A = this chain, B = another copy of it.
Amino acid sequence: MATPIESPSTTVAETDVTDDPEAVTPPTDDLTSDERALLVDNLRYVLDGRWRATRDLVRESADRSDLLPDPSRTLDEARTRILAEMRELAQNGFAAAGFAADHGGSGDVGASITAIEMLGYADLSLMVKAGVQWGLFGGAVENLGTARHHDRYVTAIINLDLLGCFAMTETGHGSNVQALETTATYDAATEEFVIDSPTPSARKDYIGGAAEHAQVAAVFAQLITGGPGEEPSSRGVHCFVVPIRDENGDDLPGVTTSDCGYKGGLAGVDNGRITFDQVRVPAENLLNRYADVEADGTYTSPIENPNRRFFTMLGTLIRGRVSVAATAGAAGRKALTLATRYGLVRKQFEAPEGTDEIVVMDYLAHQRKLLPLIAKSYAIACAQNELTSELHEVQSGSAGSGPDGRPADDSDAGRQRQLESDAAGLKAYATWHASHTINVCREACGGAGYLDENQLSIMRGDIDVFTTFEGDNTVLTQLVGKELLSAYADDVQGLSTAGWVRFVVGMARDVVVEKTAARQVVQTLLEGSDEDTEKSNLTNRGTQIRLFRNREDHLIRTCAQRLRVALDDGNDAFEVFNNAQDHLLKVGRARTERVVLEAFIQAINDCDSRSAAEVLGKVCDLFVYSALESDLSWFLMHRQVSVERAKAIRRGVNELCTELRPHARSLVDAFGVPEELLGAAMLSNG
């Protein structure tokens, strides 16, 4: 990958000259304004990744302050406004990329996700609403449906002639999707499915679009059918297209929708509830890519194992999860841009000599609040780019499924599985980071940060639910750990926790620590570093990777061992699992952090600009040092770092903050948040 022409983009340079708050304070770095603009361009090139053209298109079209959330809107007004914005997006062809060319789209999954991510710079309600329509609902039709659904629905979904919602979660079941209670019973007499909510807890809940706008729902329900002479039985969760509203917006017969009302944020998204009372839909409304019901009620599926079938279906839907992770990254970057810019104009307490007060960004405590979060945001952005790219590859067919809907071969199945685990891990890691970051940014701006006119408080409310929707972060992190410990074994999915423990304990010991092959750059760096991490300099990239890898390996090994010993001692398998749950979660976190680091290193390695790579190297060091610092007790307890090195790590964070302080503005400028979306009174009030 090549960086752009090594000359400053004039647009960026001009913006900076007229608008740079640092211009009013003595310059704190040695770069000329041209050099700085060039640095920003090159940093942005790295961050923007493969779909940088898409990013620039969205930047250009979204550079409008009227896209920002307006807290004075009523709930109704906010919802209406977001729908209007979505229609505008549709008119501009925003959604086509997410659907295959032969279904009526333009077939660029990566561009589709990147475009949705960029909405995170404008309004998270818009992103969620768009994500529901095109990512979740559209994605279900696209990935679980067949030609009859694609022909009938996809164009209408793209241009918003058909508004849909994604009715998976129920009042009683969120994380445990296999236990959903809604039923879809096949009636051979009429060749229909009867959709029903048998209990109060079967009510579909928190469904974006269900309160007002959605005309149809992709309903996840237990499919109940039997062939001739066969007792009807449940075949597990499948997805059905169910109309819920007529043209006037009234509930169709048997459908009862209601409104979730006010929420902690995302005012523009009309979350609602749906219950079904024996609602009949034609048999063809079953999204039948992975399973079908013949006219006589006979159930067929190319995937025999019900658990495998279920998880294959779910697996095609990870686009939503990937988009959520990506958008959280964008939201965090925007918050850091606002807080850093404020930190560069806000002064408080007099300088030691003279009457002028000190810019708060010059305080170590303030640097320590913001700079490590900026560093982590860089690392996450690079990992996100890789994840989006991998999803693109897998879903674009090169590593796709065979004609029967099953992965073409085992290596593809493994790749899909790996992708799902990486998506789960990064979704949790990135959304927790975003939620924490926006909170810290709000605090770093004091009272100003609490005023909606400065956006951070709105973003804080909006981002909050990202940590628990599209997969609860704790459950997802645990999933990563479970996959690692059971070496992605197929038969593990769908096992109870106790069953999973028994499986892991029965596994061959060495399978457990197997890992995906290291990429070339990582291999090279590892080879160039001492196996004894204490002997290498801590800024040695190979040593950094080694520390992260050693932690992951150690945690996996000891977790497996712990389960084995506990079960051998005759303990109840659930208790064995439960007592090790924090250990398992730590496995998941350590794994994801290692993946994030290696992606960041790859991106730096691919960067052709020496000055940008140099700054990125410092940013990477700060990411590593602060990651080590926040888990220092583990490294010390497991003698992975010495006490002396631990102290050096704490000092190192401070030193790196000081070194990166002059680049603070450049680092956030490189995020490329459109200027109009950074409207905040505090940035002009000082």
Q: Which residues of A contact B (CB under 8 A)?
A: 71-72, 74, 169, 171-176, 179, 200-201, 205-206, 260-265, 347-353, 357-358, 362-365, 368-369, 435, 439, 442-443, 446-447, 449-453, 456-458, 460-461, 464-465, 467-469, 472-474, 478, 496-499, 572-574, 578-579, 581-582, 585, 629, 632-633, 636-637, 639, 643, 646-647, 650, 654, 685-686
Structural contact, B364 and A262, CB atoms closer than 8 A: no
- Give me the 4 closest cross-chain CB pairs, A-B, nearest first: A264-B457, A352-B498, A632-B633, A71-B262
Main secondary structure of the interface of A (DSSP, over half): helix
Cα(A456)–Cα(B435), bound, Å: 16
CB nearest neighbor in B for A460: B264
Structural contact, B573 and A451, CB atoms closer than 8 A: no
Structural contact, A365 and B582, CB atoms closer than 8 A: yes
The 21 listed contacts between A and B (C-beta, < 8 Å) are A72-B262, A175-B446, A176-B349, A200-B685, A261-B452, A263-B457, A264-B450, A264-B451, A264-B458, A349-B496, A351-B574, A364-B579, A365-B474, A365-B585, A439-B464, A443-B468, A443-B473, A446-B468, A633-B646, A636-B636, A637-B647
Give chain B residues whose Cβ lies under 8 Å from the Cβ of A261. 71-72, 451-453
Cα(A458)–Cα(B636), bound, Å: 40
Structural contact, A206 and B447, CB atoms closer than 8 A: yes
- Besides A176-B348, A364-B579, 13 more A-B contacts (Cβ < 8 Å) are A74-B74, A176-B357, A179-B350, A205-B447, A263-B452, A358-B574, A365-B585, A443-B468, A446-B468, A450-B464, A582-B654, A632-B636, A636-B637
Q: Which of B201, B265, B636 contacts A633 (CB 8 A)?
A: B636
CB nearest neighbor in B for A362: B578
Residue of A169, A357, A363, A573 ringed by the most chain B CB atoms within 10 A: A363
CB nearest neighbor in B for A352: B498
Cα(A72)–Cα(B453), bound, Å: 21
Q: Which of B263, B368, B585, B637 contacts A450 (CB 8 A)?
A: B263
Structural contact, B368 and A582, CB atoms closer than 8 A: yes
Structural contact, A365 and B581, CB atoms closer than 8 A: yes
Cα(A478)–Cα(B364), bound, Å: 12
Structural contact, B447 and A262, CB atoms closer than 8 A: no
Q: Which of B206, B348, B637 contacts A175 (CB 8 A)?
A: B348
Structural contact, A364 and B578, CB atoms closer than 8 A: yes
Structural contact, A460 and B450, CB atoms closer than 8 A: no
Closest Cβ–Cβ distance, residue A165 to chain B (whole Å): 14
Structural contact, A349 and B581, CB atoms closer than 8 A: no
Number of copies of this kind of chain in the complex: 2
Closest Cβ–Cβ distance, residue A214 to chain B (whole Å): 17
Structural contact, A452 and B262, CB atoms closer than 8 A: yes
Give chain B residues whose Cβ lies under 8 Å from the Cβ of A686. 171-172, 201
Cα(A234)–Cα(B508), bound, Å: 80
Cα(A216)–Cα(B177), bound, Å: 58
Structural contact, B201 and A685, CB atoms closer than 8 A: yes
Closest Cβ–Cβ distance, residue A78 to chain B (whole Å): 12
Cα(A498)–Cα(B349), bound, Å: 11
Structural contact, B174 and A446, CB atoms closer than 8 A: yes
Q: Which of B364, B449, B498 contacts A581 (CB 8 A)?
A: B364
Cα(A362)–Cα(B173), bound, Å: 17
Cα(A637)–Cα(B637), bound, Å: 10
Give chain B residues whose Cβ lies under 8 Å from the Cβ of A452. 261-264
Cα(A206)–Cα(B448), bound, Å: 8
Closest Cβ–Cβ distance, residue A347 to chain B (whole Å): 8
Structural contact, A582 and B72, CB atoms closer than 8 A: no
Q: Which of B172, B260, B497, B579 contacts A349 (CB 8 A)?
A: B497
Give chain B residues whose Cβ lies under 8 Å from the Cβ of A435. 439
Structural contact, B468 and A449, CB atoms closer than 8 A: yes
Assuming A357-B176, A447-B205, is B264 touching A461 (CB within 8 A)?
yes
Assuming A201-B686, A261-B453, A365-B582, is B472 touching A446 (CB within 8 A)?
yes
Assuming A263-B450, A451-B260, A465-B450, is B632 touching A364 (CB within 8 A)?
no
Give chain B residues whose Cβ lies under 8 Å from the Cβ of A175. 348-349, 446
Cα(A574)–Cα(B352), bound, Å: 6
Cα(A680)–Cα(B658), bound, Å: 48
Assuming A262-B71, A474-B365, is B465 touching A357 (CB within 8 A)?
no
Cα(A443)–Cα(B463), bound, Å: 12
Closest Cβ–Cβ distance, residue A522 to chain B (whole Å): 27
Give chain B residues whose Cβ lies under 8 Å from the Cβ of A456. 264
Give chain B residues whose Cβ lies under 8 Å from the Cβ of A447. 169, 174, 205-206, 465, 468-469
Assuming A264-B450, A637-B636, A643-B639, is B473 touching A352 (CB within 8 A)?
no
Cα(A578)–Cα(B497), bound, Å: 50
Q: Which of B263, B461, B585, B633 contacts A451 (CB 8 A)?
A: B263
Give chain B residues whose Cβ lies under 8 Å from the Cβ of A357. 176, 179
Cα(A478)–Cα(B360), bound, Å: 15
Give chain B residues whose Cβ lies under 8 Å from the Cβ of A578. 362-364
Q: Which of B174, B264, B351, B573 contacts A442 (CB 8 A)?
A: B264
Structural contact, A582 and B364, CB atoms closer than 8 A: yes
Q: Which of B474, B499, B637 contacts A643 (CB 8 A)?
A: B637
